[in-house]
Amino acid sequence: MSKTWEHYHHAARHHERAAYHYKEAAKYDQAEEHEKAMHHAYLAHGHTQLAIQHDIEAAKTQAELCDGVAIPSSQAKNNKIVA
């Protein structure tokens, strides 16, 4: 598995975990068990932050891969800036 897809995979898992914890937090908040709700909200926030970090790393890795891709010479001529 490429590094890009590995990061996307980890990001997806963290997004799933965050969604689960947000759902649990809402359930406990409705039951007025605020300490448990806060705990789940805290966990959800952490998973969201990790997911964002993996999304960023995936984007960086993808950008590095795209920088190395060759452009056909006819397209490169059209993209040159004339001074």
Q: Write the pLDDT tens digit of every residue in 35-66.
A: 999 999 999 999 999 999 999 999 999 988 88
Whether residue 30 is contained in a domain is answered as yes
pLDDT at 54: 96
Judged by average pLDDT, the poorest of 8-12, 27-31, 57-61, 74-78 is 74-78
Q: How many domains does the chain have?
A: 1
> How would you class 67 by CB atoms within 10 Å of its CB: exposed for 0-12, middle for 13-18, buried for 19 or more?
exposed
Q: How confident is the model at residue 12 (pLDDT cuts 50, 70, 90)?
A: very high
16 found inside a domain: yes
**Within a domain: 80:** no
Within-domain flag for 22: yes
* Residue 72 included in any domain: no
Does residue 31 form part of some domain? Answer: yes
Do the beta carbons of residue 76 and residue 22 sit within 8 Å?
A: no
Q: Kindly give the interhelix angle for 34-67 and 3-30, rounded to the nearest 10 degrees.
A: 160
Question: Could you list the residue range(s) of the whole structural domain that residue 38 is in?
Answer: 3-66
pLDDT at 78 over 60: no
* Domain-located, residue 77: no
Tell whether 81 is covered by a domain: no
